Structure 1
């Protein structure tokens, strides 16, 4: 093992990142992709740059016109004083037909025009605003190619947006002027009546606007704990109260906009003035920096001030209008995720959750509202608008997925719907016309089908996932011809009326729906849309595969979720590359474990660690909690009986771990130690390719290829939330109310099987009271492991998982035969043949007993046979798949490794 090196450093002055580097420095400079026959091996520190390292785009692009982007690290005191320039031409000497940018404060640029076919060359320049004539142009010229096959994207320019705002009367954000009094949904009388009844209750019940800090509410189980946790407890308590008042005020003001009743406006503004006092007194005591409240408190207040200045400026006296303008300006210039904190940061980093949950949206919306009052806000508007155009939706590229998992995907619904809808109305341009928006309903249909547990590869409770009901319904209206929008809406049903009525006044997503309903018609035949033809789908940008047996009836559905993500582990994502989860009947079976809480020992050791997921521990070490701990999905084929994919997590064990906390002392007091003994280290893994197949109706096959530089222990992790037992040598079993799942692992080497219902971190303390008053600990969960007895440089695992639905006659026979060269298993209606000797080329063959489908894959795949039909591989090692249709036609598919688009196209985002 490499000697560990411990480094502490700060990040954004908000977190300490505890970073342990186990990898050698020589690893980081390797950026080449090495192609070996059918397989492609990515030799990069990370697929996405944590911070942009080289100018983009270069090479092929898939949109026209692409964004040009570079980064020059700032010197001291240069933030906000840099000027950037771009020139772009099909003439490499830049002497004719040159597109030139104006001086920009940020280093990304779009020409906002359709570029002609051919090679395009570009350069960048930069200087300081104190010496504007002294432009330093890049020595290198960069180039990309326009083929004519790119997606054409030419949105309105920032100047056009500013002109529209200045030439029209407010409001521009919460709604447009001609929408005032016209958004109550007459076509849905039940919702209309419910909204009006709720608003009447706001007039009848008027609580005192006062945030209370009650020491007696501090839980008894935490009485002996230290001040950090107590501070956090009351920080959350006061935040909840403040947001409750803010939501009520927002509802009152929006009630006026819908009804015209002056009483709502009068009470809403009066209560805002009182809440503003609480903001400047009590809430300041629970901020992270002097003179500023908690980040989420600040965002809630900014949201209210933006609403009032946008739609009620004429109702404010001069003193209050000046105060709101100045406060809003101050906080967007100096406060949480303000312009100067985003500039030279947001555009360059791969992803930051709070930026895209609220930061970019609130800066853009506030700048729209402030721009008529403050000239500097026009600069913010230009930046935020272009940043949003360039990087939205941020959680993926084009496939509709979300790299952080579905647990926190839902927190982004507001900005994913509200922002493009506000801009679409304002500018008369369809900002939803993007591949991601065309695919998101498809992604949700496979990752979180109705009645099934959702994805469990990130923060969140691991079973619900994200419905995105507002977004889906809006898209079904806006793009009514999209099949997946109609299918998703058919399966989820129209928006829940009770929820909508209760949330429309405080949540931008349902508020947006009122306007969508008013301007876009739903295809009345959406309910007649047929179910999807395919039971499995790949979303390559985020490395997710969803496999099912029944997308219509959750009580009969066998669900397999698989993840190997090019983004690595960022923010709310987990170190869960090549991990899978299995459910049946709408309930988990072999599933991720752990409970989500603010940072504590349980979260670090037993929740946000690879041991909580169904993946591989290498020498007891988890995968890296860093962008460098990435995976990807090289292959995917699917048919009626067999669905198959390959994940490559060979680079997931880079040995870099980041544990966030407000203070280093907090980690020490929690007893958190990121050491090899606790499962953190660099095992120097060189190969982890996982083949995984669903054999319908009742089996799943997992075939692992594992290699490291030095001999290590290899552990196949298998977890369950409710129960698990060992039922034989290398056999584990779990069950839910609908089925039992049995797993059997085969390996040429001796393997030790263990089961425990104890978390690695010990008991999981529910110190935030998520389970209700009086609850002390979360329930224990179950953790199984198959670990090689000896340390090995390489090994192979074959794991056969059978799912036995209650009350059904299912073939449970799994016979294993060891032949001279292969291990052969009779698995229900299939014969599975694999090579378990790690010294031989890998090989897996699956053939149905009725000879209707066959699959061959692995390094030694040469041909596939189905009865008398034989197909030879064009390239040894390709995946070969044959399936016979009901008419007797033979369908054949052949596939070698396919790289994710981020490595094929120069426009990363």
Structure 2
């Protein structure tokens, strides 16, 4: 089931099956196939915490298309797809990965840019429809997030139908009473913050070590991270592509060397694989500090016996991150600690340090 386009095509087959049921003999088979796929594995890239392996950009691509199926299925088949556990947290992933004014959207293809104002249409459906359900108490936070990004409500015929048939929008609720950091265990992503309210006041450390592997559009390597601070991207991850499948995309962006990750003897991790080579083994969030640890030795194809990366985001007036790598190699090896930024690094050879500076923030390593 782990096929990106295939996980969007099936519900279009279902919609066609519903439309032509009784008119085209094969329509019943189309519908039977699609409903079985829905119950068996949809949404395949998700977890019960609301995570999405392919990243926020592809989460939006999927959800913008799924709203049609969710409405068709409920109206014609009596299937309420929003009862699946994922949809109780469907808006949590973008809330935590791309808070208002974030310079980017985390891991996954095309997440180098902030969320689009055009996402408001499908979010309006999810917010309205979910808010009236017993497990829809988080919908107000999603509305607040969409408003902070200036997202537009649905227009056209769908907008009319939402107003006419769906529950009222819940009150907009800032996430002041939510934990400011969250782990999405099923996809192996932890998002650590000093505040969720505004990225311009936030220090955000994003970490991945995933049982989903590095397949499809979620190609970022295990035990890699991204650091934003005060609205600036400081230590970045390569999720830009010039063209899907190009040499730059597959040979550079999908490689370990293009990310804030570890090389062993100059070699990176097995890339573009569904193998569950990463796992978040610990997570703890407290007012004074957040802690996450990932294990990713299996990603190095037999070169390592152990690779645990531990990170602590220490909050307060001057937040900082402590990073510790515990590495056990099969034989003597050298290690390269890769870091990337959108501005040149200043290198302090005497103190084995470096720094990067952006207009509103900087980082010293």
TM-score norm. by structure 2 comes to 0.90
Distance 2:202 2:165 in 1: 38
The 5 A counterparts of 1:312-391 are 349=1, 351-357=2-8, 359-391=9-41
- 5+ residue gaps, structure 2, are none
1:720 corresponds to 2:341: yes
1:590 aligns to 2:239 (yes or no):
no
Corresponding residue number in structure 1 for 2:308: 689
Verify: 1:451 aligned to 2:70, yes or no. Answer: no
Alignment-derived partner of residue 262 in structure 2: 616
Are 1:485 and 2:139 counterparts?
yes
CA distance in 1 between counterparts of 2:354 and 2:17 reads: 57
- How far residue 641 of structure 1 moved from its aligned partner, in angstroms, is 0.8
Q: 1:541 aligns with which of 169, 183, 186?
A: 186
Measure, in 2, the Cα distance between the counterparts of 1:409 and 1:354.
Answer: 13
Whether the 8 Å CA contact 1:449–1:551 is kept in 2: the answer is: yes
Give 1:701 shift: 0.8
Whole-Å separation in 1 of the counterparts to 2:79 and 2:240 = 43
- CA 1:614/1:517 → structure 2, altered by over 3 Å: closer, same or farther? same
In structure 2, relative to structure 1, the CA distance for the partners of 1:554 and 1:717 (3 Å cut) is: same
State the Cα deviation string for residues 826-851 of structure 1 (Å, max 9, x = none): xxxxxxxxxxxxxxxxxxxxxxxxxx
Give yes or no for contact 2:184–2:190 (8 Å, CA) kept in 1. Answer: yes
- Post-superposition shift, 1:708? 1.8
Cα distance change, pair 407–395 in 1 and its aligned pair in 2 (3 A)? same
Q: Paired residue for 2:356, among 729, 734, 737?
A: 734
Q: Does 1:520 pair with 2:171?
A: no
2:88 paired with 1:438: yes
Compared CA separation, residues 389 and 731, structure 1 to 2 (3 A) = same
| CA–CA distance in structure 2, aligned partners of residues 389 and 463 of structure 1 | 33
What corresponds to 1:573 in structure 2? 218
Q: Which has the higher contact order (CA 8 A, sep 6+)?
A: 2
The structure with more radius of gyration? 1
State whether residues 205 and 228 of structure 2, in contact with CA within 8 Å, keep that contact through their aligned partners in structure 1: yes
* Kept after mapping to 2: 8 A contact 1:592/1:721: no
Q: Counterpart of 1:703? A: 324
Post-superposition shift, 1:473?
2.2
> In the alignment, does 2:287 pair up with 1:640?
yes
CA distance in 2, matches of 1:497, 1:738: 25
Equivalent pairs, count: 356
User: Which of 42, 66, 84 matches 1:416?
Assistant: 66
> Are residues 1:607 and 2:244 paired?
no
Give 2:299's match in structure 1, choosing from 631, 652, 655: 652
CA contact under 8 A between 1:453 and 1:465: conserved in structure 2? no
Distance in 2, matches of 1:560 and 1:738, equals: 17
Aligned partners of 1:593 and 1:721 also within 8 Å: no
Work out the CA distance in 2 between the residues paired with 1:498 and 1:480: 19
Shift in Å, 1:586? 1.8
Q: Secondary structure at the match of 1:712?
A: coil
Whole-angstrom CA distance in 1 between matches of 2:287 and 2:60? 32
Q: Give the Cα–Cα distance (whole angstroms) in 2 for the partners of residues 702 and 372 of structure 1.
A: 62
Partners of 2:128 and 2:362 in 1: CA distance: 41
SS at structure 1 position matched to 2:313: strand
The one-character-per-residue Cα deviations of 1:230-289 (angstroms, maximum 9, x if unpaired) are: xxxxxxxxxxxxxxxxxxxxxxxxxxxxxxxxxxxxxxxxxxxxxxxxxxxxxxxxxxxx
TM-score, length of structure 1 as denominator length? 0.38
Is the Cα contact below 8 Å between 1:580 and 1:615 reproduced in 2? yes
C-alpha separation in 1, matches of 2:175 and 2:253: 39
Distance 2:356 2:42 in 1: 41
Instruction: Quote the residue 1:7 is aligned against.
Output: none
Q: Provide the aligned C-alpha RMSD in A.
A: 2.3
1:374 offset after TM fit, Å? 2.1
Deviation at 1:402, TM superposition (A): 0.9
Alpha-carbon shift at residue 494 of structure 1 (Å): 8.6
SS state of the match for residue 16, structure 2?
helix
The 2-side partners of 1:706 and 1:475 are apart by 44
Q: Is the 8 A contact 1:614 1:718 kept in 2?
A: yes
**1:617 Cα deviation (Å)?**
1.0
How far did residue 491 of structure 1 move?
2.8
Contact 1:687 1:706 in 2 (8 A): yes
Q: Deviations over 1:777-824 (max 9, x none)?
A: xxxxxxxxxxxxxxxxxxxxxxxxxxxxxxxxxxxxxxxxxxxxxxxx
Deviation string for 1:735-776 (max 9, x for gaps)? Answer: 222111001xxxxxxxxxxxxxxxxxxxxxxxxxxxxxxxxx
TM-aligned CA deviation for residue 529 of structure 1: 5.4
For structure 1, list consecutive stretches of 5 or more residues without a partner in the other structure.
Answer: 1-348, 506-510, 655-682, 744-909
Q: Given the superposition, is the C-alpha separation of residues 355 and 437 from structure 1 closer, same or farther in structure 2, using an over 3 Å criterion?
A: same
Q: Deviations over 1:202-228 (max 9, x none)?
A: xxxxxxxxxxxxxxxxxxxxxxxxxxx
Q: 2:208 aligns with which of 563, 587, 608?
A: 563
SS of match in other structure, 2:310: strand
| Offset of residue 376 of structure 1 | 2.4
